[in-house]
Amino acid sequence: MSTKLAIPKKSYYFFGDGKAEGNATMRDLLGGKGANLAEMSSTGVPVPPGFTITTDVCRLYYENSLAVPKKIDEELEKYIAKIEKSVGKKFGDKEDPLLVSVRSGSKFSMPGMMDTILNLGLNDVNVEGLGNKTGNMRFALDNYRRFISMFGNVVLSIDKDLFEQVISKKKSEKRIKQDSSLQVNDLKDIVKKFKSIIKRKSGEPFPDDPFVQLRMSRDAVFRSWNNPRAISYRRMNEIPSEIGTAVNIQAMVYGNMGNTSGTGVGFTRNPSTGDNIFFGEYLVNAQGEDVVAGVRTPQPIAQLKSDMPDVYKQLEQITSKLEKHYKDVQDFEFTVQENELFMLQTRNGKRTVQAAVKIAVDMVKEKLITKEEALMRIEPNQLDQLLHPSLDPKAKVDVIAKGLPASPGAASGKVYFTAEEAVKHGAKNKVILVREETNPDDIEGMHAAVGILTARGGMTSHAAVVARGMGTCCVSGVEAIRVSAAKKQFQVGKLIIKEGEMITLNGSTGEVIMGEVATIEPELSGEFAEFMSWADQVRTLKVRTNADTPEDAAKAVKFGAEGIGLCRTEHMFFAEDRIPIVQEMILADTPEGRQLALDKL
């Protein structure tokens, strides 16, 4: 980020109340999330009001020795005032405070790689006000403890396990399993301990001033553009490092206000198979990070139809409208606050190549896109994934557990329990990364593994989304397994599988199988043949094959090759019955002997 940048005329873009200063075409400036929030707002989709700080400001932040220029910084209060006016609450108010979320959002989707902070604006005084105003002190304190731990981890770089240990200890003391079972006094004690962790680790007390919290969080999100996992993800996906991230600051809506509230993520079509089925997951009485982090295994979205039928119907209508608007599968996030639906994000969904081919063909038939647009939706190198083998249905298998089929395919490999070990051994062996749940810091290990297995998390968890994007087999939410990274083993009932032992994952069924399983060549779908026939209609290059044996030639013709481009005749002589004859020809003493050998060939 070395080019000298001028202060832009406009650094903040407001959205809300059915209006927006930006739109979907402004991804370079507002990032994908900010551009789509603006677009949704202006098309009448219910979106909590907020504003986007542009990617220009991120670049200036890095150019200006990790500081937002004063002139831009001074405008922050003005845009917070716009949110205040929209929702009728004051930021930092003692009785009924406006709380905000602070989220990253670059031009390219980078799921889980950068940072998010929720419930910003709380302190020891107004948490009481929030509890009194809502009549729900447990809800207020739950938000406060979430905010302090996120702030500590994201802004102050304190290990989140320190906060998790406090909660785990409290739950074991109280003999409860779920965070939602913690009572008011438990949460007060947790908040107190969280604040002492922050004082001990950072040397400073937790900041009470909401604007101090906001500025520190904004800067932390800018810094997260260059955290190790974001850098790794950009390298793997060839995303330029100089584009920076936008920051989205938005009024909070609460999925954790009780049993008429919830949060979820979903896709307008199945991202594994491409089937035109509404697909997703949600949690009642939870906040958004609970679903994608895989901390609790969520409910399938079909269950929402019986839990909150009106919300489900509205969600189906909105997401169908979004798919038609963007002419692509949408990956969306939503929150329900006391039976009122809010959309928090939409973006083009990451999908497997099997799904991509089916969706492209189906959308042409639905007259959403043209054949030419369908062809441009799929990278040629992705098609290679369709040629990977699958498990032989005739093979005898020892299924030891079953989870969710999060990303299809089949993979056999040796199990390892940390990203570092997966990278170390993945260079020489096929490895399966086994985790309680993955987090964005595991990205290098996920890249090195041929398969991913998690004990927790659903079909839309971090592990599932990233695995599908990479074309890696994944089985998630296998609740029967107990993972111990410390002991380098996982347990299913009385069976213990140790580091380095071989297992097989069936990402199409969710089965976890002991040992290595035989595979068969893939069967290509009718959609694939149709898709490739469209490519034949528009291409100008003829495609021939390199084939050295009759078997190679037959396979090439099956895949549409129009002839032989290169044939190395010496490879034809490597067959078991031909090698001795070739040797006889080479070693023959006379022309007649040589001819005799050639005749045999």
pLDDT tens digits, one per residue of 495-554: 999 999 999 999 888 999 999 998 887 777 789 989 999 998 998 888 898 887 788 888
**Where among 465, 490, 520 does a domain terminate?**
520
In a domain, 1, yes or no: no
Same domain, 396 and 470: yes
Report DSSP state, residue 8: P
In a domain, 505, yes or no: yes
Taking 80 as the threshold, does the pLDDT of residue 291 lie above it? no
* pLDDT computed for residue 469 by the predictor: 81
Same domain, 500 and 547: no
- Partners of 459 in beta bridges: none
pLDDT tens figures, 200-215: 999 999 999 999 999 9
* pLDDT computed for residue 17 by the predictor: 94
Percent of the chain with pLDDT over 70: 98
Whether the Cβ atoms of residue 142 and residue 188 lie closer than 8 Å to each other: no
Distance, CA of 582 to CA of 471 (rounded, Å)? 43
For residue 361, what pLDDT band results from cuts at 50, 70 and 90?
A: very high
* pLDDT computed for residue 134 by the predictor: 93
Same domain, 511 and 410: yes
* pLDDT computed for residue 295 by the predictor: 63
- 395 vs 199 pLDDT, higher one: 199
Taking 80 as the threshold, does the pLDDT of residue 385 lie above it? no
* pLDDT computed for residue 30 by the predictor: 98
| Residues 194, 200, 201, 206, Cα dihedral to 10° | 50
pLDDT tens figures, 18-64: 999 999 999 999 999 999 999 999 999 999 999 999 999 999 999 99
Give the number of residues written for the chain.
601
Same domain, 507 and 462: yes
In a domain, 345, yes or no: yes
- The whole-model pTM stands at 0.78
* pLDDT computed for residue 293 by the predictor: 63
Same domain, 579 and 515: no
Q: What angle do CA 366, 371, 372 make, to 5 degrees?
A: 140
Q: What share of the chain is helix, strand, coil (3-state, %, to 5)?
A: 45, 20, 35
Percent of the chain with pLDDT over 90: 68
Same domain, 402 and 505: yes
For residue 303, the domain's CATH number is: 3.30.470.20
Distance, CA of 530 to CA of 194 (rounded, Å)? 58
The whole-number average pLDDT for the span 137-141 is 95
In a domain, 399, yes or no: yes
Task: State the burial class of residue 379 (Cβ atoms within 10 Å of its Cβ: 0-12, 13-18, 19+).
Answer: exposed
In a domain, 130, yes or no: no
* pLDDT computed for residue 207 by the predictor: 98
Taking 70 as the threshold, does the pLDDT of residue 2 lie above it? no
Whether the Cβ atoms of residue 225 and residue 58 lie closer than 8 Å to each other: yes
Diameter of the chain by CA atoms? 106
* Domain with 438 in it: 390-520
Same domain, 516 and 546: no
Taking 70 as the threshold, does the pLDDT of residue 127 lie above it? yes
Distance, CA of 107 to CA of 105 (rounded, Å)? 7
Distance, CA of 487 to CA of 472 (rounded, Å)? 26
* pLDDT computed for residue 1 by the predictor: 46
The whole-number average pLDDT for the span 332-349 is 95
Whether the Cβ atoms of residue 285 and residue 298 lie closer than 8 Å to each other: no
Lowest mean pLDDT among 50-59, 104-113, 356-365: 104-113
Same domain, 516 and 558: no
Same domain, 276 and 342: yes
**Where among 290, 325, 350 does a domain terminate?**
350
Number of domains in the chain: 3
The whole-number average pLDDT for the span 231-236 is 88
Same domain, 437 and 509: yes
Same domain, 548 and 516: no
In a domain, 172, yes or no: no
* pLDDT computed for residue 184 by the predictor: 95
Q: Helix, strand, or coil here: 335?
A: strand
In a domain, 43, yes or no: no
The whole-number average pLDDT for the span 136-157 is 95
The whole-number average pLDDT for the span 389-399 is 85
- 181 vs 9 pLDDT, higher one: 9
For residue 478, the domain's CATH number is: 3.50.30.10
Same domain, 394 and 511: yes
In a domain, 481, yes or no: yes
